[in-house]
Structure 1
Amino acid sequence: MSGWMDSAKKLCITLKANTELEIQSIAMAMLKLPVPISSLAPVKFTPFLSKSNELASPLLDPMKLLKVAADAKNLKFGRVIHAHLVITNRIPRDCRVNQINSLINLYVKCDELFIARQMFDRMSKRNVVSWCALMAGYMQNGSPLDVFELFKKMIVKDNIFPNEYVIATVISSCFDSQMYVEGKQCHGFSLKSGLELHQYVKNALIQMYSKCSDVRAALKILDTVPGYDVFCYNLVLNGLLEHSHVGEAIEVLKLMIDEGTKWNNATFVTIFRICASLKDLKLGKHVHARMLKSDIDDDVYIGSSIIDMYGKCGNVLSGRAFFDQLQNRNVVSWTAIMAAYFQNGFFEEALNLFSKMEIDHIPPNEYTLAVLLNSAAGLSALSHGDQLHARAEKSGLKGNVIVGNALIIMYSKSGDILAAQLVFSNMKCCDSITWNAIITGHSHHCIGKEALNIFHDMLTARECPNYVTFIGVLSACAHLSLVDEGLYYFNHLMKQLGIVPGLEHYTCIVGLLSRSGRLDEAENFMRSNPINWDVVAWRTLLNACYVHRNYDKGKQIAEYLLQMDHEDVGSYILLSNMHARVRRWDGVVKVRKLMRERNVKKEPGVSWLEIRNIAHVFTSEDNKHPESSQIYEMIRDLLTKIRPLGYVPDIAGVLHDIEDEQKIDNLSYHSEKLAVAYGLMKSPSGAPIRVIKNLRMCDDCHTAIKLISKVANRTIIVRDANRFHHFQDGFCSCGDYW
């Protein structure tokens, strides 16, 4: 009984019980099966029982005990009290409605809505509290339509007029924009009935209009609030921020300052979020200074919002300095500083923080793991990602949608699309991000057919595609040269779904037409659509001109591109490659001279791979690696083996007018060949080799690695600046178009 006595003592603190007898009484009530209390301990319970054997002490008032059980969400204790009331059955009739209302409140708060509804339906007489308690349950359960139906039945069937709590509950259930019409109807009802005068109702209306993006209506009601109600201001600010009405939020903020409204913790959190959304570091620093001068304690939520603000404004050092001086750090603040590093491209620093977090014995939550997995994806650090995957399984977060989505993205960006597919297949619950991640992942890996199959599965599952979905879908159509299907999605399906095409979708159509060799049509598409085309779109067409050997059009496009952006290195290189292809060395020289004059420098080609958690980096003709001689010997051996398969060095792509023998020598030791050779030397037999390159693969390396995959009987995955290339058995997933 000692365990129950301890629980009873805690309960008695809430009930302000003082004597040992009182504690024993509650302990017995919690311990025993539901039988009349008098039979459990007739002597000790005597002072609390009336002559009719009912609970007479205010301490053991069942209504009070039910309220405590409901507030603590202690279903077990609540059921003990319920059972006792059923068995004793000596409550006066005029008290039974209130008693059942208390029981409905208990079961609603303990997420037993079915039982609460059963009790409600069996009531012979209901009052406004009965309806309000059940409505609150449906609202908490995310069933706004049921709340609204109950409201209508309450007025029509029971002829009960609502009070301010009921109407506030009903309005609160209309936060979803799909219930906006019903919310306005409730507003009209509150106006006619005079209930709008109550602050509860005003708060609910402000929140409803803010969340439904009716800014003017929210501000109009805010004008009727007497005094400087910071709670109402917070509701409006949050609603505006959620719907990206940041400009209006700033206006409300100015109004708060003009009226001298005192800010509370929630206000500061919201305003720091506004500063982060605007990326306004100056405003963020002003707000931070105001907070330091106020009497507000920087709790964990404020602290995390400050770190987030500095991170999103690009000032990670200030965010880290604030984090380091925090006295109490929890998983939220740790995740915030990791996210700040991740958002600013400091992926390794974000991963390193995790070990320090573990030293503090703070377990990660789903958001922490998502940030870490995305950081691993940014580095294409598959080994780190695998370790985090194991950690997710160990902590029981593997089935979480947020973690699952991050795992799919990590594996996709790290070159293991099969692992991403396995994670997707094992997910019990998916959202739009899940579908988008797996579709986009397959498209990026040039596995267009599978991407479209998953898209059709998405439609079958009645998950509505969105803006991001169609970027992956149109990219997949481009890879498969499905021009008609891609144009149908772009011109018809997106329109049916109400998705306005953006620059990314238009660029995908340019890629779709270009890949199919319809270069004139692609150019006409660009010139006839009044889109603010960027360098990426025009370079897509330029690359197609290079692949399809249409150098005259390519030269025109390149010259137009360089007028748009004098510093676009990719355009210079493609133009230079085109001149080199047709041995126009004067053209190559002219391009190089132009680059020097404009101080445009080509980034050196770098490739790297990870062997046993150690990254090995190679540059072209690199001899700094401690095993360079063995690597060079391996390359010579591989090139000898692939020559009988038809390999001929592609010296036309060499950008210098030098002897052919020297050109061949230059081609042989490009960075990606060095990395692949080292991977074959050091990785286990049969294991895939994953290489990352910072630039586009050259034609010669692409051909050579295709054949190397055949003679070595290995899967070789290379991620270059454009996409993933899966080399296997002499073929590449890109279909020789990249």
Structure 2
Amino acid sequence: MLPQRQTPPEHRLPNHLAHPNQTPPPPPARSRPPEASPRHARRRLRLPPLEPSVYSGLLRRASRTRSLALARLAHSHMLRAGYRPGLFLRNNLLAAYSRCGDMRHARLLFDGMPNRDAVSWNTLIAGYSSQGSARLALGAFRDARRDVAVAVDRFTYATVLAACGSARDGRSGRAAHGLAVVSGLARTSFVTNSVIDMYAKCGMIDEVRLVFDRAQERDEVSWNLLLLAYVRMGWPEVAVNVLVWMHRSGVKLDAFALGGILKACSELKDSEDVRMMLHGCVVKVGLDLDVFVGSAMVDMYAKNGGLEEAIKVFDCIPGQNVVIYNAMIAGFARLGNEPCPEIRIEAVRLYANLLQKRIRPSKFTLKSVLEVCNLTNAVRCGRQIHAHVILGGFEDDEFIGNALINLYAKAQLVDDSLRCFHRTPKQEIFTWTSMITAFVQDGHSFKALNLFRELLYLEKEPDQFTMSCVMNACSALSVPITCEQIHCYAVKSGFDQFTLCGNSQIEMYRCTGDLKAAKKTFEKISCLDTFSWSQMILSYAVHGHEREALLLFKKMFDCGVIVNKFTFLAVLIACSHQGLVDEGFRHYESMVSDYGFVPDVNHIACMVDLLGHVGKVADAEDFIMRSGLENDAVLWHALLRACRINGDKNRGVKIGEKLMTLEPSAASSYVMLYSLYMDAGKISLAMRTRGQMRERGMTKEAGISWAEFGGSIHQFADGDNSCSQKPESFTRLEELLVRVKQKTEHGGMNVWELGFQARKVGENSISKHGELLVVALGLSTLPNTAPVRVMKNQNMSWESHETLKLLSEGENREIIIRDPARFHHFSQGSCSCRDYW
């Protein structure tokens, strides 16, 4: 009896491999005769097989172009033609599937092969390695060594060593190295180079040098791999010594070696002599016109500020491609903040030149150009680059998406940033961090916190920069309970160990009015930097502890910590809040003469506030005129505050009229000038100002006060009676004021003219002071020992200030109010501002 005909293993592959472009036909109907079934029709339509060379050519092309469809088509034709390929064609088919990334069917094909050789195993191992499956590659290597019919060769060891290097698996790589030594194949330079490359990728530099020194055979690749290993380790000085050693040993310096050492030296600082030496070496060996080496030289000069040299190298290289354009454009993007925009915009001209030469830009090109647009605030140009990103199909690149988010966020186009964020895959945490930062910078701190909650819901791990941005959002909102929750999360995640998060945490607690928590955070930071000290000095200054701020600055100076302009700003704020004129001017002059800092508008505003604090309003005005910033509205606002407190009404009216010319579109200017005219008794001018405001469609910004009680934020608008909690808060405030009046002896003060005795909230002037209602709600909600912290977007009125002083004394509670001017700590009938705000 003859044996049944065995079906080749590849015939049992899934049907879509045999017919990749067809769907399987439906099962035949029962009434259909057998000879009419599709199965019999396929038997009658068997295709004639092609020549083996044709199959081989198709499979080689599929491997080279990574075309899985072509590989399946060639395989399908073999099956339909009933062709039984030999070992050579089977290996080609296996290589095609492996290089196209279809390892599942490559393994099915491999398991069905009647016989295998070393090429079969090497192809399978290489396929697993290229897909990042180091474990499967090592398993295939173990199976190959067990196959008695196959003798593993040097290519097998090179492949498995490459898999270990890609997976950073030094332990398995060391074992493979030992087997190569035992087999005697490690003596060849081919295997030695694979071992060196594996150890270098695993970061085992000592093993790299040991293998190189004991190698029986070395070639140029061995030297280049040693050089690249030191470059990868970040040791450019050693890499330069290896290059000198290569030259003295008579090894020919090629583009690979010189490109690697140039890349390493681009990270060297203050090494102009080394860069010039390497440039001369490149010219001597005749590689100065090589595009690869030229790109490395451009990158080396551009990263170290040698932009003129980079341009000269760029202009001399013929046949410029996208790589050298990328290096040159990135050089302009790395110039920092000092060069003028006209220099940086050359990067955009380079990009336009690249397009004129019909060179297709890469992802790195677009990213670098977008960074230049971001640095130069060229939003219109950035939109055009964004269009190129869409046309090129690069919207799925997170680095480009991140650059677009930052570009639009800097231009305060947060909606455009959000659209870019939604179109980005969002796999990397820096994309989330950029969008959170965009919300914070645009004043949408609630949205920033909601985005952070979404990030945690998706189980993504934030980093220290994300936590710093979230803390900045909490600082802007000044929500104490949320701040404590973010702090707890930072501690549990270990982010509190980073100085960056510690500094943001100091600012967060400073903005919520919790000076004790800010001080405790400062003391726990293990590595204090300049910003840490400056933040703590500022925290003391704005919370009424000016002496502690100045003592901390002295301690900072004694410790040798480098100071900056922000440090001096914190010191000047401390001096202005306490009225220390002599000490304030001494620090101001020291900042200019001893440290060479140019005062900005904030420093000058502190000095104006300092002079106004001691009643020297005329001197403050002269100081503004001498500063060279007399057209900055911030300075005149500071002087106007001094006029109001010191009762200089005539000067205040003049300053108000000047602010009208400086800020004609600001509603606050009209409101302020109206109040100044009313205080000065100029009723007609006040009415005219109000009429101008009405004609131009300007409305006064609503005063809003808010606080966080019981895990939720309670908000009150001045004069708005729509809040459901307002009647209860008003009743509570009325009870508090009556009780305070009974306990204290201040019944004759004008504060009682607020008319709290009225029954209807709409008829009561207290309803115009939202901060009082929030304080009343806090006093009735929070425990008796907890301070009440309230935020307000406008300066407090005198009536509210005096009322809160009485409430703090009568209720024996600390009340903290933060307004745009400063913090007010009310305790035992007094305020930390000493009635100057």
TM range (shorter): 0.7 to 0.9
Alignment of 1:269-308 (within 5 A): 269-294=367-392, 296=394, 298-308=396-406
- Specify which of 614, 617, 629 is matched with residue 531 of structure 1: 629
Q: Are the structure 2 counterparts of residues 27 and 148 from structure 1 closer, same or farther at C-alpha, using a change threshold of 3 Å?
A: closer
1:510-567 Cα deviation digits (max 9, x unpaired)? 3333334443333222222323541111211221233334445444434433343345
Q: What amino acid is the match of 2:364?
A: A
Structure 2 stretches lacking a partner, 5+ long? 1-121, 755-762
- Contact conserved, 2:779 with 2:788, CA < 8 A, in 1? yes
Q: Which deviates more, 212-221 or 616-625? A: 616-625
- Deviation of 1:721 (Å): 1.6
RCO greater where, 1 or 2, for CA within 8 Å and sep 6 or more? Answer: 1
Q: 1:437 to 1:213 in 2, by over 3 A?
A: farther
- Structure 1 counterpart of 2:749: 648
Structure-1 separation of matches of 2:599 and 2:285:
46
1:203 to 285, 295, 304: 295
> Where does residue 26 of structure 2 map in the other structure?
none
- More moved, 466-475 vs 711-720: 466-475
SS at match of 2:825: strand
Q: 1:114 to 1:587 in 2, by over 3 A?
A: farther
Instruction: Indicate if the aligned counterparts of 1:503 and 1:533 stay in contact, CA closer than 8 A.
Output: no
1:201 maps to amino acid: V
Which one of the candidate residues 260, 270, 274 is aligned to 1:179? 270
Distance 2:266 2:580 in 1: 42
| Residue equivalent to 2:6 | none
> Map of 1:345-364 to 2, 5 A cutoff?
345-364=443-462
Instruction: Say yes or no: does 1:237 pair with 2:329.
Output: yes
* Corresponding letter in the other structure for 2:154: P
The equivalent position to 2:359 in structure 1, one of 253, 256, 261, is: 261
Query: Cα–Cα, structure 1 residues 569 and 199, in superposed 2: closer, same or farther, change >3 Å?
Result: same
Is residue 737 of structure 2 the alignment partner of residue 633 of structure 1? no
List runs of 5+ in structure 1 lacking aligned partners.
Answer: 1-7, 30-40, 49-55, 655-663
State the SS of the aligned residue for 1:255.
helix
233-242 vs 427-436, which moves further: 427-436
Paired position in structure 1 for 2:164 = 69
Q: Give yes or no for contact 2:478–2:512 (8 Å, CA) kept in 1.
A: yes
Residues 355 and 524 of structure 1: CA distance in aligned 2, closer, same or farther (over 3 Å): closer
Report the residue type matching 1:522 in the other structure.
A
2:249, 2:298 → 1: CA distance? 29
- AA aligned opposite 2:153: S
Q: Which residue of 2 aligns with 1:476?
A: 574
Secondary structure at the aligned position of 1:205 is classed as: helix
Contact 1:21 1:44 in 2 (8 A): no
The alpha-carbon distance between structure 1 residues 224 and 137, as it changes in their structure 2 partners (threshold 3 A), is same
The corresponding residue for 2:347 is 249
- Tell me how large the CA RMSD over aligned residues is: 4.6
In 2, Cα distance between equivalents of 1:455 and 1:121: 56
Distance, in Å, in 2 between the alignment partners of 1:483 and 1:108 is 63
CA distance in 1 between partners of 2:292 and 2:512 (Å): 52
Provide the secondary structure at the position in 2 that maps to 1:520.
helix
Amino acid aligned to 1:732: C
Is 1:543 paired with 2:641? yes
Contact in 1 for aligned 2:374/2:406 (Cα 8 Å) = yes
- Is the alpha carbon distance of 1:28 and 1:424 closer, same or farther for their aligned partners in structure 2, counting shifts above 3 Å? farther
| Distance verdict in 2 for CA 1:589–1:459, change over 3 Å | same
Larger displacement relative to structure 2 (467-476 or 328-337): 328-337
User: Which residue of 1 is the match for residue 15 of structure 2?
Assistant: none
CA drift of 1:680 comes to 0.7
Q: For 2:386 and 2:131, how far apart are their aligned partners in 1?
A: 42
Q: Does the 8 Å contact 1:618/1:674 carry over to 2? A: yes
Q: Using the TM superposition, give the Cα deviation of residue 165 of structure 1 relative to its aligned residue in structure 2, in angstroms.
A: 4.4
* Identity score, percent: 29
Q: 1:114 to 1:496 in 2, by over 3 A?
A: farther
Residue 14 in structure 1 maps to residue 115 in structure 2: no
Counterpart residue identity of residue 611, structure 1: F
For residues 31-85 of structure 1, give each alpha carbon's deviation from its aligned partner in whole angstroms, at most 9, with x where no partner exists: xxxxxxxxxx9x879976xxxxxxx731564x76555433432232344456778
2-structure distance, mates of 1:177, 1:210: 12
One-letter amino acid of the structure 1 residue matched with residue 168 of structure 2: K
Q: 1:410 to 1:11 in 2, by over 3 A?
A: farther
Counterpart in the other structure of 2:153: 57
Give a deviation string over 1:313-357, Cα, whole Å, max 9, x none: 444444444554667766454444444433433322333334444
Q: What SS class does the counterpart of residue 835 from structure 2 fall into?
A: coil
SS of equivalent residue, structure 1 residue 201: helix
Q: Which of 605, 613, 630 is the matching residue for 2:711? A: 613
Q: Which amino acid aligns with 2:689?
A: L
Distance 1:725 1:628, change over 3 A: closer
Match for residue 52 of structure 1? none
Matched, 1:680 2:680: no
| Correspondence 1:70-219 to 2 at 5 A | 70-80=165-175, 99=192, 108-112=200-204, 146-147=237-238, 150=241, 154=245, 164-175=255-266, 178-179=269-270, 181-182=272-273, 183-219=275-311
For 1:203-602, list aligned pairs within 5 A: 203-243=295-335, 244=337, 245=341, 246-294=344-392, 296=394, 298-321=396-419, 323-324=421-422, 331-429=429-527, 434-455=532-553, 464-493=562-591, 496-531=594-629, 533-567=631-665, 586-587=681-682, 590-599=685-694, 601-602=699-700
Distance across 2 between alignment mates of 1:141 and 1:454: 41
Q: Which one has a bigger Cα radius of gyration? A: 2
AA at the equivalent of 1:261 = I
Q: 1:489 and 1:170 mapped to 2: Cα distance?
A: 48
Which segment is superposed worse, 280-289 or 20-29? Answer: 20-29
Letter in 1 for 2:128: I
Aligned equivalent of 2:818, options 711, 719, 736: 719
Distance 2:327 2:185 in 1: 43
Equivalent residue of 2:154, what SS? coil
- Please give the secondary structure, in 2, of the residue aligned with 1:684: coil
One-letter amino acid of the counterpart of residue 689, structure 1: V
Deviation at 1:153, TM superposition (A): 6.9
Label 1:564 to 1:699 Cα distance change in 2 as closer, same or farther (>3 A).
same
Q: Which amino acid aligns with 2:448?
A: A
Query: Residues 496, 635 of structure 1: CA spacing in aligned structure 2 closer, same or farther, 3 A cutoff?
Result: same
Q: Quote the offset at 1:457 in angstroms.
A: 5.7
Superposed CA deviations along residues 578-616 of structure 1, whole A, max 9, x for unmatched, are 677xxx552366335324334465434332222113322
Shift of 1:720: 0.6
Decide which of 702, 709, 727 is 2:808's aligned counterpart. Answer: 709
The residue that corresponds to 1:35 in the other structure is none
Alpha-carbon contact 1:448-1:479 (below 8 Å) kept? yes
Letter in structure 2 aligned against 1:57: D
Number of residue pairs aligned between Structure 1 and Structure 2: 693
Q: In the aligned structure 2, how far is the partner of 1:15 from the partner of 1:350?
A: 40
User: Following the alignment from structure 2 to structure 1, what is the Cα–Cα distance between the partners of residues 136 and 256?
Assistant: 39
